[in-house]
Chain A
Amino acid sequence: MKSISPSFVPLLRLIVGTSPEEISCDECDRRLSAFVERCARSRFHEPRMRAHLANCPDCREEFEALLAIVSLRTALIH
C-alpha cells in the first residue's frame, strides 16, 4: 500500500492531520516559549499546539530549534 508517488505523501500527512479548528501561527508563537519550557521538562501534551506544529513546517522548525536551545540551557544551569 506504499506505492503512491512520493510527492503526494506530504499532502496525505497534511490532510490526515487536519482538525476542524486549528490555532494560527500568531497564537502558536504567543504560546511557544511556555510550551517549549514544559516540553523540555517532560513529554507535554497540548493537542492544539501539537496539531499546529504538525501542520505548519515553519512553526515546527522554530519549535525544534527553541527546544534544543532551552534543553541546552537547562542542562548547563542544572
Chain B
Amino acid sequence: MEWPNAQWLRMLHGTDRNTALTELRAILLVGLDAGLRRGSRSPAVADLEDFVQEALIRITTNLSSFRGDSHFTTWANRIAVRVAFSEMRRKYWHEVSLDAILETEGLLSAEPIADDGSSQPDRLVGDSMLEHLLARIIRQDLSERQRRALTAVVAGMPIEEVARRMQTNRNALYKLLHDARKRIRVALEREGVIEEELRARM
C-alpha cells in the first residue's frame, strides 16, 4: 500500500518521524537494489546502505522542495538514484584523468583536411572525409573547453565527472556541450553535409 503524500509529510514533520524514516529507508533500499542491479556496475549491499543513508539526509533537509507532482516515494527515490549514481561514477572514474582520455580518444586523431575554399556543398561525403571534416570542425570551430568536454563525453566519461575535472557543474557542462553540438551542426551545414548522411552512419 502506498501512503498518500500528505501522510508522508505529516509523519516526517511530526512525532511519527522515526516510523516514517524506517519505512522510507526500506523503500529506498528495495528501490535502489532494483534500479541499480540492472547495470554492469552493481553496488555492494554496504554501498546501497550508504547511498540510502545519504539520500535520507538530503530528503529530510529538502522536504520543502517537494512539489507534489508525483508520489512522494518517487521523488524520494529520484534523490536516492542521483546520490547513488554520483557516488558510483566518482568511484569508477576516480583514477582516470581528463588528459588520459583526450590522449587516447580517436576523435582528434584524424588528420584534419585543410579548408582550401573549394568545398562542394552538393557532394556526398565519404566516411574518411567525414571523419577528417569533423576533426577539423572540432579543432577550428570549438573552444578549448568545448573540445575537451565533448571529446571526454564521446569517449564515455559521465558529464558529471567531466564537470568535476573542469571545475564546473553538470548543468553548466551540459550547456557548454549543447553550444558545441550546435556549432558543429552549423559547420556541417556550411560544408554541405546533410543530416541524412549522418543518420546513415549511426
Instruction: List chain A positions with a Cβ less than 8 A from chain B.
Output: 1-5, 7-16, 18, 20, 22, 24-26, 29, 32-34, 36-37, 55-58, 61-62, 64-66, 68-70, 72-73, 77
Measured CB to CB, the closest approach of chain A to B165, in angstroms, equals 14
Knowing A4-B130, A11-B107, A57-B159, the reply to whether A24 touches B201 (Cβ < 8 A) is no
Measured CB to CB, the closest approach of chain B to A62, in angstroms, equals 5
B81 touches which of A2, A9, A65 (Cβ 8 Å): A65
Instruction: List chain B positions with a Cβ less than 8 A from chain A.
Output: 1-2, 27, 30-32, 34-36, 38-39, 69-71, 73-75, 77-78, 81-82, 84-85, 89, 105-107, 110, 127, 130-131, 134, 150, 153-156, 158-160, 170-171, 174-175, 177-178, 181-182, 184-185, 188, 195, 198-202
Q: Which residues of B contact A70 (CB under 8 A)?
A: 74, 77
Nearest A residue to B34 via CB reads A72
CB-based contact B154/A33 at 8 Å: no
Knowing A7-B105, A66-B77, the reply to whether A33 touches B70 (Cβ < 8 A) is yes
Q: Is the interface of A mostly helix, strand, loop or mixed?
A: helix
What separation, in Å, do the CA atoms of A52 and B202 have in the docked complex? 19
B71 touches which of A29, A37, A57, A64 (Cβ 8 Å): A37
